Amino acid sequence: MEQLIIDGESLTLEQLTAFIENPQIVVKLAATARETVQAYRSQVEKWLVEEHKVIYGITTGLGKLKDYVVDEQDQAIFQQNILRSHAVGLGPDLPEQVVRLALLLRANVLSRGHSGVRVELIERILQFLNHRICPLVPQIGSLGVGDLQPMAHVGLCLSGTSEGRVRIAGEEGSAADMLSTAGIAPVEFPLAAREALALMSGSTVVLAYAVYAYYQAKKLSGLADLAVSLNLEALRGERNAFDERIHAARGIPAQIETAQNIRRLIEGSTWLSDEGRKRLGETQPRVQDAVSLRSTPQIHGAAKDVLGYVATVLSRELNASTDNPLLFADETGYVSMSGGNFHGAILSYALDFIGIVLTDLAVLSERRSARLLDPLASYGLPANLVGGAIGLNTGFALVQANATALVGEMRTLATPASVGSIPAKSNQEDHNSMAMGAARKAMQIIDRLKTVLAIELLCAAQAIDLIAEKMHGLRLGSGTKQIHQAIRQHIQPVWEDRYVKADIERMLMLVESGELLCCLNGHTG
């Protein structure tokens, strides 16, 4: 069975992609990390018992209550009180993939040692991961300066309390009951001094959300290349705009990559030719297409370039110590320092960037699908992509209108959350990144973009079938033919109006399956 060894230093986005796609991966703690964690934990216990050192969140209250002392004999109660007072999240539960990522990311960061927790806490987190125990965590509450509310819910689950809620093998219930029924030992796992805050502090859930959003966004950026390529065939477009010399002249790697993707997909097409255009009545050279087609490499490439920046942000954060306080060791001994690494500003910016560029991909896709319905813009395709008698049949006008509606919503959602700080907690937290809001919006934008691209692909496939007879003797590109065939394996052309909502739903399922992305690599499957 495949394993992932965490040490707090070397976790990568590639490993997280594998973790998302293969839930059977077993996560283990590296031996070197175990030694480091034990050394730091020994120092925490020494401070508590022997030195009675004043350390924020360990021997003091939290936030505005930092000047109140917590005695060593009250630590067990203090840890449980921290969890109960902070586990006040509201709204729907987080997606399971996000929760699993959050558990992995927190275990990884705790394994650096700077948090001062026991090895047993990290092993408890890995026990949940490896036994597919998913805490049920409400989405609303974090302000993006440490995910205190969501991670407090996680803490109640790890503790095995009746307040924690978990899902195991599709069944949901209290952590105490579900762990006992599943034979997980121990059921009760009280957190020790320092551990509640170490678990909660730091923008772990936001980071997990950002990783998952980036994973989805990367796939959708590739799907957008597929959509424009099939659309080009339907419009018998001009291929010169994708010539590698044009894109090399600007020198943006992601733009060059996009143009290369499109060239690969349309390779061998004779629909994209003067002869192909003549079949529907064009007697003059096309010269160039509208910007939504001609400038696709520039726009898709710019979006991918921004996603590349997001990847650099995430790659750094995966192995970053972000809780407060942090412990450090040097030749003189150990020191505890209080700071602000928990702040999620950089993640909030990154999530806003994801939302902005994906919204623009949707804007572009909607304009391309709209062209297919207009005989003037489509160079002679049937109005509304009607397959039968026009008038008696309405065709795809309302199908495409869904894309217009969704783009309108996405533009509202793309308004940055990161500029919306509102002070909270008696002004002790007087700047908040609002990163959880950015994460929730990004996921809504991702869901909408899937549908917008699904509609463009559905419209383009319909257009190709409507003119296939007129294009007899000509061929689609090697990649676009595969895309068209993959769509037609699931959805038939619309020759007369029918209940087409079911077609949209099937197309969306095909998009979400990832099957079409295989066409980028020259094969289906």
Catalytic residues: 56
* CB within 8 Å of 124: residues ≥ 6 apart: 158, 189
Element at 356 (helix H, strand E): helix 345-373
Q: What span, in angstroms and rounded, lies between the C-alpha atoms of 474 and 455?
A: 25
* CB within 8 Å of 125: residues ≥ 6 apart: 103, 106, 107, 110, 158
CB-based burial label for 491 (10 Å; 0-12, 13-18, 19+): buried
- The candidate with the shortest Cα–Cα distance to 225, out of 287, 293, 309, is 293
Q: What span, in angstroms and rounded, lies between the C-alpha atoms of 456 and 452?
A: 6
Q: What span, in angstroms and rounded, lies between the C-alpha atoms of 455 and 505?
A: 10
Distances (CA, A) of 458 to 354, 374, 396, 487, 494: 25, 16, 9, 8, 10
The DSSP 8-state label assigned to residue 381 in this structure reads: P
- For tokens 């599943």, what's the residue? 182
Which phi and psi angles does 295 have, rounded to 5°? -100, 15
Structure tokens, 461: 């496939």
Q: What span, in angstroms and rounded, lies between the C-alpha atoms of 307 and 176?
A: 41
CB 354 within 8 Å of CB 217:
yes
Phi-psi region of 391 (alpha: psi -120 to 50; beta: other; left: phi over 0): left
Q: Which amino acid does the sequence have at 96? A: E
- The candidate with the shortest Cα–Cα distance to 413, out of 343, 358, 451, 346, is 358
- The candidate with the shortest Cα–Cα distance to 361, out of 249, 452, 487, is 452
The DSSP 8-state label assigned to residue 166 in this structure reads: E
